[in-house]
Structure 1
Amino acid sequence: MTLSTDIITVGVPDVSAAHAFYASAFSAAADDGRNAELDLHGTGRLAFRRIDELAAACGADPATSGFRGYVLSSIVQRPAEVRALLDAATAGGATVVKPARKEFFGEFAAVHRAPDGAVWKLAAASKKDKGPVPAVPRPTETAVFLGVAGPKASKVFYEALGMVADHDYGDKFVDFAVSAGACRLGLLPRRALAGDAGVDGQGEGFSALALTHTAGSREEVDALLAAADSAGGRVTAPAAPTGGGGYAGRFTDPDGHHWRVATSA
């Protein structure tokens, strides 16, 4: 039993518009022909749902304002790829929050706000453009960073669900080992996360985000929901059969971030 971030679902005003933007921004293809889901070049999947429908599924009020408490990130090899991704995003209607540049500690990064309101950080694993730059930037990782009250306490919760810390800097930053085909999960204090992204940390209401773990069996779904409940989370939708022979339930972590655990249909 190990929780993994297999699908990032973003609540958006218009699913077709969001799909078109992200497909263009990341040169990503629809996953298995599903128009509302994209394969991020083997580093996880990105899905879209109308924000009111996602809120209803999560048992939340759809009202949202300001910072939503998370930052999504695409990590590529070279600075030139960061520039290319930022150019593609802005061409599709994204707003530049931080231009592409070397940060104080040497990281080369940029931040934009997508048309749906999600904040994206684009970062390079290398500080220099070594080797040929591909025509289509392909991420080495996709990550989701959650703003939490205390990363140390939040780490304990996620470890109870089988996750293993990869980098642990106490209450400054924690992230977890990532499995093949999944997205990385990281934890930062909410204010620090907003500051790193260059956005105002004030915000309230629905995050317009849900993370999905694809379980291998109904028993795993039940075990993860039970573990979340015991570790201080809250089961918001008990496990039940879904259309097409699937089985799913939902929970929130102690900071209110939404998760779905489901078997594939």
Structure 2
Amino acid sequence: MPLPLNLSLVTLGVADIARSTAFYEALGLKAARDSNANVTFFNTSGPVLSVYSRAALAADAQLPSEGDGFRGLSLAWNLASEADVDKAIVRIVAAGGKLIKAAEKTFWGGYSGYAADPDDHLWEIVHNPGFPFDDAGRLRAPE
């Protein structure tokens, strides 16, 4: 039987670990005990989120660290209502993030906007009425 694929940790390569740590703490996350000057770990309701030097992360993967712009990836913060989406975007901007696209109704029946953290990692802030939360508060795609 194959090993189950579980998204367990997301690492963001950042320019300044202290700045990124402060940003995510301003959003309500708390640095985990094993964090240090080289990496910060945050427990979420899903995978662990970590911030790590972009250069060190690239070196660890044996890839060049240069290059920016759209990275072909976005992270999503799913919320229970359109009002919660609007509140979260205000909170991100107040914490030092950037509004990329104001939230609006989507063609698929949801409500979504985009913001970026201080290192331009793209976050979709979204309410998807078709994706329920389970009893543990985790988003579930309908099966």
Q: TM-score, normalised by structure 1?
A: 0.45
Equivalent in the alignment of 2:50: 186
Taking the aligned partners of 1:212 and 1:163, their CA distance within structure 2 comes to 16
Shift in Å at residue 219 of structure 1? 2.0
User: For 2:82, which of 213, 218, 223 is the aligned residue?
Assistant: 218
Per-residue deviation, residues 193-232 of structure 1 (Å, max 9, x unmatched): 1112222223233211111111011221111100111111
* Larger Cα-atom Rg: 1
One-letter amino acid of the structure 2 residue matched with residue 142 of structure 1: S
- Identity across the alignment (%): 34
Give the match for residue 163 of structure 1.
29
- How far is the alpha carbon of 1:251 from its aligned partner? 0.2
Which structure 2 residues correspond to residues 4-83 of structure 1 after superposition, within 5 A?
none
Contact 1:240 1:247 in 2 (8 A): yes
Matches within 5 A, 1:66-215: 135-139=1-5, 141-166=7-32, 167-170=34-37, 172-179=38-45, 182-215=46-79
Moved segments of 4+, more than 3 Å: none
- Give the strand-richer structure, 1 or 2: 1
Of structures 1 and 2, the one with the larger relative CO (CA 8 A, separation 6+) is: 1
Gaps of 5+ in 1: 1-134
Cα drift, residue 139 of structure 1: 4.3
SS of 2:88's equivalent in the other structure is helix
- Separation in 1, partners of 2:24, 2:47: 15
CA RMSD, 1 decimal: 1.7
Corresponding residue of 2:107:
243
**Counterpart code for 1:222:** D
Counting matched residue pairs gives 128
Aligned partner of 2:122: which letter? H
What's 1:54 paired with? Answer: none
Partner of 1:21: none
Q: Distance in 1 between matches of 2:68 and 2:24?
A: 23
Encode CA deviations 1:91-120: one digit per residue, 9 max, x unaligned.
xxxxxxxxxxxxxxxxxxxxxxxxxxxxxx
In the TM superposition, what whole-angstrom CA distance separates every residue of 1:150-188 from its partner, at most 9, and x where no partner exists? 112101111222222223212x10121031xx3322111
1-side partners of 2:127 and 2:7: how far apart?
24
